[in-house]
Amino acid sequence: MSLDLTVDGPRWRAHLERTAAEVPGLVPVCKGNGYGFGLGRLARKAQWLDDRAATAREADPDGPGAGRTPVDTIAVGTYDELAHVRTRFGGSLLVLTPWRPFGTAAETRDPRVVHTVSRLDDLEALLAQDPDARYVLERRTSMLRHGMDARDLWRAADLLRRPAARGGRGLEGVAFHLPLEQGSHLGEVQRLMTDVVAAGLPTTTVWASHLTHHELATLRTQYADYTWRPRVGTSLWLGDRSALSVTSTVLDAHPVERGDAFGYRSRTAPKAGHLLIVSGGTAHGIGLEAPTGESSVKARAAALARGGLDAVGFVRSPFSTDGKQRLFAEPPHMQASMLFLPAGARVPEVGEKVPVRVRYTTTTFDRVVVS
């Protein structure tokens, strides 16, 4: 009766462990809908990765696992997400949304939380409110979302030298939020690093997202005097898609003739076939138009075709039977969707599972089953 995410546990865990071993200093990102798995499960998994790293180091101090660094920090998106992970992960909790002197951020005083500070005023306000606060300073990147410019970092360094700032002892590093790969990030990071050196901050730790393995390796040699903390979300949790499958359940099937009326809006069937009612609707994120990240006309058209609600005719749905993507008979309902199966196609049994293509970061599953 549900929209399910089924995870091939051994395969998924192997991918997580492989990633943790390949990316020293890894900071798992657990934000939003938890990449479809849920925030709590990801936090527990991050704790498990840390335990595994400790075991690997203890079991064979000279073995290949000995080099694995602890997973001592996870990153959440917002202060409100902290509640979902706090009891499930024992280490530090980095909040990616910059601290502001209002809202949940201003109410959060937790020695495990590492704040992201992106404005000088906020740095002063945070330290006034909590002199023991732990924080990273975000340097604005070409994304131009949040963050300080080069001058702000110099001023921050001056500010941190004041006694009230405890000489910058709460500073845990500088953070970069890089855009998705468009060519190499190295040039941009080298420039940002020059600004970091120029500021003379009392830290040599850099937190960064969206760097490839190769870019990270290069930066680790060029800036071996710095500690690199790569924040990784998608390629950690969703990096091995073959370990994941999403299925919906067939709830009903009705034969229709051409001209038969059906559905909320009494549409008429264009030709003979079957209506298939499957689990999964707008409440799960099915049929909602979400940006795909691809920007070609073809990709955009495909996205529209998959989920566009305002399309007049029958549009392609993310559900498929017998290897074919089926059409929505009408826009998805809250919990279920109506598909049109043309005459001649095999009609699946009620209770049969059918595969669904979804974006994990926008889908809410009823059940997540990890083997």
Partner 1 sequence: MTTPLHVRPVTEADHLAFVRSRPSASFLQTPAWGQVKTEWRRESIGWFDDRDELVGAALVLYRQLPRLTRYLAYLPEGPLVDWESADLAAWLDPMVAHLRGQGAFGVRIGPPVVVRRWDTAAVKDGIADEGVRLLSEVPPTERSQVGARVVSQLHELGWRPQSVAGGFAAGQPQFVFQLPLRDAAGEPRSEDDLLKGMNQQWRRNIKKADKAGVEVTLGGPADLAAFHALYVHTAERDGFTPRPLSYFQKMQAALGAEEPDRFRLHLAHHEGDLVAATIAIRVGEHAWYSYGASSTEKRDVRGSNAVQWAMVRDALAAGAAVYDLRGITETLDGDDPHVGLIRFKVGTGGEAVELAGEWDLPVNRPLYAAFAAYLRRRGGSS
Tell me which of 18, 162, 191, 357 binds partner 1, using CB under 8 A.
Answer: 191
Token couple for 108: 């959060």
Tell me which of 87, 129, 194, 268 binds partner 1, using CB under 8 A.
Answer: 194
Q: Are 326 and 248 in contact (CB under 8 A)?
A: no
Q: Which is nearer to partner 1, 200 or 259 (CB)?
A: 200
Beta-carbon contacts of 111 under 8 Å, excluding residues fewer than 6 positions away, are 132, 134
The reply to whether 107 sits near partner 1 by the rule CB under 8 A is no
Q: How far is the CB of 40 from partner 1 (least distance, A)?
A: 40
The reply to whether 197 sits near partner 1 by the rule CB under 8 A is yes
Q: Which is nearer to partner 1, 130 or 195 (CB)?
A: 195
List Cα–Cα distances, 220 to 119, 176, 199, 204, in angstroms: 27, 15, 20, 12
Positions 218 through 237 that interact with partner 1 (CB under 8 A): 218, 221-225
Task: From 1-9, 89-97, 147-155, 230-238, give the range in contact with partner 1 by CB under 8 A.
Answer: 147-155
In order, the DSSP letters of 141-187 are: -TT-SS-B-HHHHHHHHHHHTSGGGGGGTTEEEEEE-PPSPSS-SHH
What SS3 state is found at 353? strand
The reply to whether 63 sits near partner 1 by the rule CB under 8 A is no
Strand ranges of the sheet holding 113-117, from the earlier edge strand across to the other edge: 27-28, 227-232, 205-209, 171-176, 134-139, 113-117, 92-95, 73-76
Q: Which is nearer to partner 1, 223 or 314 (CB)?
A: 223
Tell me which of 54, 106, 125, 150 binds partner 1, using CB under 8 A.
Answer: 150
Task: From 24-32, 195-203, 275-283, 351-359, give the range in contact with partner 1 by CB under 8 A.
Answer: 195-203
* Residues at the site binding partner 1, with contacts judged by CB under 8 A: 150-151, 154, 191, 194-195, 197-200, 218, 221-225
